[in-house]
Chain A
Amino acid sequence: MSLSTEVRQVNGVSIVDMAGRIVLGEETGKVRSTIRGLLEGGATKVIINLGGVSYIDSSGLGELVSAYSTAQRSGCVVKLLNVQAKVQDLLQITKLYTVFESHTDEAEAVASF
């Protein structure tokens, strides 16, 4: 299952709805280009909604970390929404749960900026 990404705006926050797998290849490239596009468009608040993503490999995790770092350097804050159980396990194993602020409720996530 390839990765689909859709961007919508909610109260000044860019929400990226992702669905599918985030693995090495086209999928990681799609994450990179989507975040780059948002930053080029001046986004300063981004939520990556992983509700439709049940599988991320280490390359996918690395791409999310790179997105976070690149955004931070541009003055943009990136947060995660609806992290699925298997992905949450990976965030624990890799300690990336200490990097990403994560929410389970969209309205709460939007209000958290």
Chain B
Amino acid sequence: MTDCRKLRLNFESTLASIDAAELIVERMAQISGFDEDQVYQIGMGVRETMVNAICHGNQLGSPKTVSFDASIDENCMQVIVTDQGEGFDESQVADPLAGEQLMRGSGRGLLIVRAFFDEVEVGPGSGSGTRVRLVKYCAQGA
């Protein structure tokens, strides 16, 4: 992998945007030499991040948008997703692996993101909202 590829988009707060973001990063990863498992993990991690941004941050169907920046260089793929919601305090989120939380119907997205990406930063956006930065390093110097 030698090229540096960058993409910046604004997505509407719709389910279609989630599918689109997943497809985009999967394609970027494929053409940049990530292996099949890494492509799956990148796609899934971005899907979960977009679900959080659109469904929990912006509220599905609202006029708010999600800022999406994806880039790949010789070392890694980086994706930054920023919503326009009310903000998000990760310390207030119940551990989805703990006790009765295990039987909840939601709350596992960030757990999966952390399992699939090498670096995950969750913090405030520049205005309101939440900014999530994901980094996946290339295995075998892809």
Contact = CB atoms under 8 A, between A and B. Distances in A.
Nearest to A70: B105
Interface string A45-86: 000000000010111011101101100000000000000001
Interface string A84-99: 0010001001111011
B129 interface: no
Interface residues of A, number: 22
Contacts of B40: 86
B6 to A, nearest CB: 26
B48 A65 contact: no
B51 A59 contact: yes
Interface residues of B: mostly helix, strand, loop or mixed? helix
Interface string B21-62: 000000000000000000010001001100100010000000
A25 interface: yes
Interface stretch (B81-89, B107-115, B132-140): B107-115
Instruction: List the 9 closest A-B pairs by CB distance, nearest first.
Output: A62-B105, A58-B108, A66-B105, A58-B109, A93-B115, A25-B15, A62-B106, A95-B97, A94-B108
21 contacts: A24-B51, A24-B55, A57-B44, A57-B48, A57-B51, A57-B112, A58-B51, A58-B108, A58-B109, A58-B111, A58-B112, A61-B108, A62-B105, A62-B106, A65-B104, A68-B103, A69-B105, A86-B40, A90-B112, A94-B111, A95-B97
Interface of B: 15, 18, 40, 44, 47-48, 51, 55, 96-97, 102-109, 111-112, 115
